[in-house]
Amino acid sequence: MTTLSPTQLALEWHRAGRAIALAFVVETWGSAPRPAGSMLVIDADGAMEGSVSGGCVEGAVILEAIDAIADGAPRVLDFGVSDDEAFAVGLACGGRIRILVDPVGSAMPIEVLEALVAAKEAKTPIAYVADLASTARHTAAVEAYPVRFRSDRSGVEDDDRTFVAVLNPPLRMIIVGAVHIAQHLVPMARACGYAPVVIDPRGAFGSEARFPGEDLRDDWPDEAIAALAPDARTAVVTLTHDPKLDDPAIMATLRGPAFYLGCLGSTRTHAKRVARLEATGFTADEIAKIHAPVGLNIGGKSPSEIALSIMAEVTATLRGL
């Protein structure tokens, strides 16, 4: 099983001299099993990696891709699955899938594929934009489609011809404080698609025994956060309830691009935190970025319930709710 992304694999195959095409799920209706933006890499011999439907239309897409590679022309394919066929292919209520097949080197310029791969390797968000009515193809930054990037939502614009495939870097969650809440928050974050990192210089807390197999950092929080370089796909949560540990992490995060910063503590504790931050020169607008007390108010009391409330608030913030 390859660990490369479809775009990375496509470029690798191209550089190896293989003629290839990339297929994208453009739109889905009903119970189609793969979301818009899903990709499949195909070469001229029919070898493929990835998925656009979970298996029910891959065979037909491969045949169309081989033809597209041969003539250099893109294809927009529309597959409908009837209710009678649905159960056999995993579409329990029927469905439709619309797929774009772009041969690389003609419909998809090599420099565009290289830009997609460079963004992937630099962990920079990027979009592949295709005019379904022509061969126009280009990349776009977050500013062009902010709602799509925030919601991780690929698809067709209202003009019914502009397809936008959002390629976001991975989500990360940096947790400061290897406390009991963190033991519940780490698996929740991973289940929601985040790569969690736990920072705690206190060896008794940030131990392998308490967090088996996890990414643990024992540096001072501000140093660890500087090394991790939070980006716009990073959430930071401070849980130590100790200003000596939380404050350096908060200060290292506040003026950066992290989309979420949440801090454990009561309203009274946060008021004292705000005073300390103001005394060090942070503005009211900067401090207002902090979610405190951390988490949605669901009445949680136990560590697991508090972790759930944090994960819910992080999700709502990511999705712009």
Q: Report pLDDT digits (tens) over 9-32.
A: 999 999 999 999 999 999 987 766
Domain-wise residue ranges, the chain: 6-167, 171-318
303 φ/ψ angles, rounded to the nearest 5 degrees: -55, -40
Q: Report pLDDT digits (tens) over 301-311.
A: 999 999 999 99
Question: How far is the C-alpha of 197 from the C-alpha of 251, rounded, in Å?
Answer: 18
Share of the chain above pLDDT 70, in %: 93
Question: How far is the C-alpha of 310 from the C-alpha of 236, rounded, in Å?
Answer: 11
Helices (H), 108-216: 110-121, 146-151, 180-191
Query: For residue 89, is pLDDT > 50?
Result: no
For 107-114, the CB contacts below 8 A with 24+ separation are 107/68, 107/72, 107/73, 107/74, 107/135, 107/137, 108/22, 108/137, 109/137, 110/14, 112/137, 112/138, 112/139, 113/7, 113/10, 113/11, 113/14, 113/22, 114/11
Question: How far is the C-alpha of 169 from the C-alpha of 193, rounded, in Å?
Answer: 11
Q: Report pLDDT digits (tens) over 153-201.
A: 999 999 999 999 999 998 999 999 999 999 999 999 999 999 999 999 9
To the question of pTM greater than 0.85 for the whole model, the response is no
**Residues 275, 281, 284, 290, Cα dihedral to 10°:** -70
Class of domain 171-318: alpha beta
- b/e string for 166-188 if b means 16 or more Cβ within 10 A? bbbbebbbbbbbbbbbbbbbbeb
What pLDDT was estimated at residue 3? Answer: 73
Q: Are 35 and 154 in contact (CB under 8 A)?
A: yes
Q: Report pLDDT digits (tens) over 271-305.
A: 999 999 999 999 999 999 999 999 999 999 999 99
55 φ/ψ angles, rounded to the nearest 5 degrees: 120, -20
